[in-house]
Amino acid sequence: MSRIGKAPIELPKGVEVIINNGLVTVKGAKGILTQKVDTDITVTLEEGRVVVTRPTDQKRHRALHGLYRSLIANMVKGVSDGYKTEQELVGVGYRASNKGQMLELSLGYSHNISFELPSEIKVATTAEKGQNPKIILESADKQLLGLVASKIRSLRKPEPYKGKGIKFVGEELRRKAGKSASKK
C-alpha cells in the first residue's frame, strides 16, 4: 500500500465531505471545493474520516491512490485553514498595488503590468519604508494559489547576479559571481 494513500484524512469540525458518483465536494468555513476522482479509485466516508482505496497494485493505481488522497487532504485543509503565499519584489522602483482583484505591478519595464486575479483569491499588498514591497495571496484552493503565484513570479523572475525580480519570501536564490578584473 502507498504510505500516503493508506493514511485516512481526519475531518476537522465544520468540514463536510460529500461523495457523489466520482465527484468529491468539500465544504467548510473558507469555501467549497470539488475534485473529480478517477473511476478506479474508491473514496468513502467512515466515522468522520475520508478513506481512499485502490483496486489493485498496478503502477497506475498506486500512483493515483496517493495523488487523490493528497488532493483531498489539501482540499480539507484549504476549506478549514486556507493557504497563504507571500512574494517579495526586489529591485529599485519595483512597486505593487491592488484595487479589488486587479494587481498593478511596476517591474522596471516601460509600462506597468495589470494582472487580474480570480475571485477565489484574496490579495493584499504592503509597502513599508526600508523594506521590499510584498504581495500576499490567500485562498482555500492550493492548486489555484500556486498557479497564480507562479504566473506573477514569471512576470520578472529573479536574476542570478543582483537577485532583482519577484521571489517568494524565504526563497534562497542561487547567486553567481560577476565579472572579475583580469590580473596581469
Question: What domains can you pick out in the chain, each with its CATH number?
Answer: 9-80 (3.90.930.12), 83-168 (3.90.930.12)
Cell of 98: 491592488
Per-residue pLDDT tens listing for the chain (184 residues): 458 888 999 999 999 999 998 899 999 999 999 999 999 999 999 988 999 999 999 999 999 999 999 999 999 999 999 999 999 999 898 999 999 999 999 999 999 999 999 999 999 999 999 899 999 999 999 999 999 999 999 999 999 998 899 999 988 888 888 887 666 6
Integer Cα distance of 41 and 52 in angstroms:
7
Question: DSSP alpha helices (H): ranges in the chain?
Answer: 59-80, 142-153
Count the alpha carbons within 13 Å of 84 in the hemisphere toward its beta carbon.
8
Sheet holding 102-106, edge to edge: 95-99, 102-106, 113-116
Confidence (pTM) = 0.87
Q: What is the DSSP string of 6-50?
A: TS-EEPPTT-EEEEETTEEEEEETTEEEEEE--TTSEEEEETTEE
Q: Is residue 70 within 8 Å of 50, Cβ to Cβ?
A: no
For cell 503565484, what's the residue? 149
